[in-house]
Structure 1
Amino acid sequence: MTRADLGKHPEQVSAMFDRVAANYDRTNTLLSMGNAPLWRVATTRAVDPKPGERILDIAAGTGTSSASLARSGASVVAADFSPGMIEVGRRRQAHVQNLVFVEADAMRLPFDDDEFDAVTISFGLRNVSDPKQAIREFLRVTKPGGRLVICEFSHPQASLVRAGYGAYQRWVMPPLVKLSSSNDTAYEYLNESINAWPVQSELAAWLREAGWRDVAWRNLTLGVVALHRGRKPLAAAAGSPE
């Protein structure tokens, strides 16, 4: 079976997601114990899409999050580097008029500078081999004053919750994956990548280091997931502060 490792080689990660694309949404809903739709609602509200805006949804997978954003009337580009995911997404979201799919690498986005009013990525940043480079790319393609929203697995801060979540990852998740996915070994990488991911404050520091302003985060589901936000600085006028 195809799976990636923490080296996160793009070809391995892409092939892994190609293989799980058909059952990806169903498996996510099951593994999240039904929380995945709630996380999507929270992310959509944080992005706050408006009619006429242009929004980039990176690591969009099958476009479930992209379709949620597009319901606002915004023009949404769903970008993913897995051809298999894009194929499934185009088929499932064919009825959404203001949504297009593009194959793209988060570290080398095929878009112009200052192109999008908002950029968002859900459960994809930890799969990028150089997430700091991706964060800089997000900044490049965002319009001055535009916003970034990252929804990603994180680390519960309460010790009791951490212990319970660890037990779930070790004992409950594996049999659930076997029931719902055709590639259960790929989901071993899921746990590995979550446990190796930085804590909330460290990711926030990465955003500030890249140049994002007004960086903040809030925990969802007791810190199992965290929602990070930032804003691209406005272009400073000549002779005046930003």
Structure 2
Amino acid sequence: MSKADLSKQPAQVSAMFDDVSTHYDRTNNVLSVGNAFLWRVATTKAVAPLPGERILDLAAGTGTSSASLAATGAQVVAADFSPGMIEVGRRQQAGNPNIEFLVADGMNLPFADDEFDAVTISFGLRNIVEPKVALGELYRVTKPGGRIVICEFSTPPLTPIRLGYSAYLQRVMPALAKVASSNPAAYTYLADSIRDWPNQATLAGWLRAAGFTDVGYRNLTAGIVALHRGTKPLSATSPGPESSTTGVTQ
């Protein structure tokens, strides 16, 4: 069984997700105690896909999030670094004309500049070895006036919840992963990567540094997850200076 470490070497990360691809959605539902569905609904609403729009769903995994976006009539490119995940997604979404599956590197996206009306990534940015590079790529492929939505694990602002969540990651999640996952060791990496990930304000700063404006975030599930949003300026030709105010809703 493959397990990546916090160096996030691309080959390790890809192999690890290949290993967990078969039971990935089931395991997510178990480990999130059913919240994965609610987070997906919130992300889809934040992206606000429209019929005919072209949307990039990066780190799409098996395409569950892509299917939610495509249900509105948008054309979704479901991209992931793991060939195993993409293969499962193609099988699960066979016959869905609104989703195109593609193996792609988040730090070197195989798309033209200004190609997508919206870009989104859920629970995948922290698995990329250089997340700031990935944000630059997402900025590049977004059309001027287009939007970005990131759903990612984050830092609960309330100390009791933060301590309780840390205990869950350390003790409860590994036990659940042994029951639900085809590669329980991979979820040790998951817990480590969540603890190592920066807080909401830091990620908002990264988005502004990449050039996005109107940057804001909203906490979900008491801040265990945060939903970040931003817009590529209509006049954009390259990443611009930091601007806008980060809005926070607990």
Task: Check whether TM > 0.5.
Answer: yes
Residue number in structure 1 paired with 2:245: none
Residue number in structure 1 paired with 2:121: 121
- Matches of 2:6 and 2:166, distance apart in 1: 19
Residue number in structure 2 paired with 1:130: 130
Residue number in structure 1 paired with 2:193: 193
Residue number in structure 2 paired with 1:111: 111
- Matches of 1:236 and 1:4, distance apart in 2: 37
Matched residue pairs, number? Answer: 237
Q: Does 1:91 align with 2:91?
A: yes
Residue number in structure 2 paired with 1:227: 227
Superposed counterparts of 1:72-87, under 5 Å: 72-87=72-87
Residue number in structure 2 paired with 1:13: 13
Q: Do the aligned residues in 1 keep the contact of 2:144 with 2:236 (CA within 8 Å)?
A: no
Residue number in structure 2 paired with 1:25: 25
- Matches of 2:204 and 2:167, distance apart in 1: 27
Report SS of the residue matched to 1:22: coil
Deviations 1:74-108 (A, max 9, x none): 00000001000000000001131111101100000
Q: Do the aligned residues in 1 keep the contact of 2:139 with 2:211 (CA within 8 Å)?
A: yes
Residue number in structure 1 paired with 2:169: 169
The structural deviation recorded for 1:201 is 0.1
Q: Do the aligned residues in 1 keep the contact of 2:78 with 2:102 (CA within 8 Å)?
A: yes
The structural deviation recorded for 1:163 is 1.1
Q: For residues 33 and 144 of structure 1, do their structure 2 counterparts lie closer, same or farther at Cα, with a shift above 3 Å needed?
A: same
Report SS of the residue matched to 1:121: strand
Residue number in structure 2 paired with 1:61: 61
Amino acid at match of 1:7: S
Q: Does 1:211 align with 2:211?
A: yes
* Structure 2: stretches of 5+ with no match in the other structure: 238-250
- Matches of 1:182 and 1:43, distance apart in 2: 27
The structural deviation recorded for 1:236 is 6.5
- Matches of 1:133 and 1:213, distance apart in 2: 17
Amino acid at match of 2:213: R
The structural deviation recorded for 1:161 is 0.4
Amino acid at match of 1:175: A
- Matches of 1:232 and 1:217, distance apart in 2: 16
- Matches of 1:81 and 1:17, distance apart in 2: 9
- Matches of 1:236 and 1:62, distance apart in 2: 32
Superposed counterparts of 1:38-49, under 5 Å: 38-49=38-49
- Matches of 1:66 and 1:95, distance apart in 2: 14
- Matches of 1:95 and 1:222, distance apart in 2: 37
What TM-score do the two structures reach when normalised by structure 2? Answer: 0.94
**Identity value in percent:** 68
Q: For residues 31 and 110 of structure 1, do their structure 2 counterparts lie closer, same or farther at Cα, with a shift above 3 Å needed?
A: same
Aligned Cα root-mean-square deviation (Å): 1.0
Report SS of the residue matched to 1:235: coil
The structural deviation recorded for 1:166 is 1.1
- Matches of 1:218 and 1:95, distance apart in 2: 34
- Matches of 2:236 and 2:188, distance apart in 1: 46
- Matches of 2:85 and 2:25, distance apart in 1: 11
Amino acid at match of 2:179: L
Residue number in structure 2 paired with 1:240: none
- Matches of 1:95 and 1:228, distance apart in 2: 31
* Structure 1: stretches of 5+ with no match in the other structure: 238-242
- Matches of 1:137 and 1:219, distance apart in 2: 25
Q: For residues 22 and 236 of structure 1, do their structure 2 counterparts lie closer, same or farther at Cα, with a shift above 3 Å needed?
A: closer
